[in-house]
Amino acid sequence: MLHNFGSINLDHVYRVPHLVHPGETLASRAYQVGLGGKGANQSLAMALAGGQVSHWGRLGRQDAWARDHLADVGVNVAHVSLVDEPSGHAIIQVDDVGENAIILFPGANHGFVPSELASLMASAQPGAWLLAQNECNALPELFASARERGLSIAFNPAPMTEDVVRLPLETCQLLFVNRVEAAGLVGLPESSDAQALLAGLRQRLPDTETVLTLGGAGAWYQSGDAQCYQPALPVKPVDTTAAGDTFIGYFMTARQEGRTVADCLELAAHAAALCVQQSGAAESIPRRTDVDQALSQFRATRSS
């Protein structure tokens, strides 16, 4: 079982011709409200991939439907608390080429207190995986407690903030970063090439496995001096909102199944490729049957 200490948000999604400029008023072509948050998205992706995942989170009592949705797809929600606080939410713009811009209100996601962390840790067996992102509070305390409990920590430092740099990242066994996050962690320009970013991460965190996702430039896995590359798949993106979360959820499920790193990357890349061809966040995350079918078709085409 993987335990995901993660945000649960309500996503307010607006389709716009371009991302709004300062001082501009822009009419939206469409609007919808859905389940989101990097934490919830990653738990959904794991469950839809067939993984075993327990979500640790907080949600406004009035939004219990979001917890029910997580449960309906197979997420263990025994440790999702309904609280008398507003739920976290995001205002998301998505433009005609699939790029997005997001304003995030943390809400209940930032209400964790020490007694809650202690209760959550008590529910986890030593040796289990703990997955976290940067949309909940109390991460330093979480990392310390997880290390004491003997959990393996996988961390996705998104959204990237100055606080992330000060976290004890050396306690993480696995780190998922995109180009912006990697550059921020190692003090390099975002335009740096993949090998420069990977070298910086290896120097800073020599004992931590890293997955560097680069969108259309593919993804890299690194552990010490060993590296594995997964090329990007040729698809036309409609909405990239949950692509990274889908990648992480499928990667962790494949790892849970005991697959090789190359297989983990390949499965995750195909899942993300299907995701970006659909609009929305949670609703764009594909099911395992669809990903397996896409992967089989890709392999058949490549071998013919």
User: Rounded distance, CA 96 to CA 279, Å?
Assistant: 11
Largest CA distance in the chain: 58
- Give Cα 279 to chain centroid, integer Å: 17
pLDDT tens string for the chain (304 positions)? Answer: 999 999 999 988 899 999 999 999 999 999 988 898 999 999 999 999 999 999 999 999 999 999 999 999 999 999 999 999 999 998 989 898 888 888 889 999 999 999 999 999 999 999 999 999 999 999 999 999 999 999 999 999 999 999 999 999 999 999 999 999 999 999 999 999 999 999 999 999 999 999 999 998 999 999 999 999 999 998 988 888 899 999 999 999 999 999 999 999 999 999 999 999 998 778 899 999 999 999 999 888 877 6
Q: What residues are annotated to the active site?
A: 245
Query: 67 CB contacts (<8 Å, ≥6 apart)?
Result: 8, 59, 77, 80, 82
SS3 159: coil
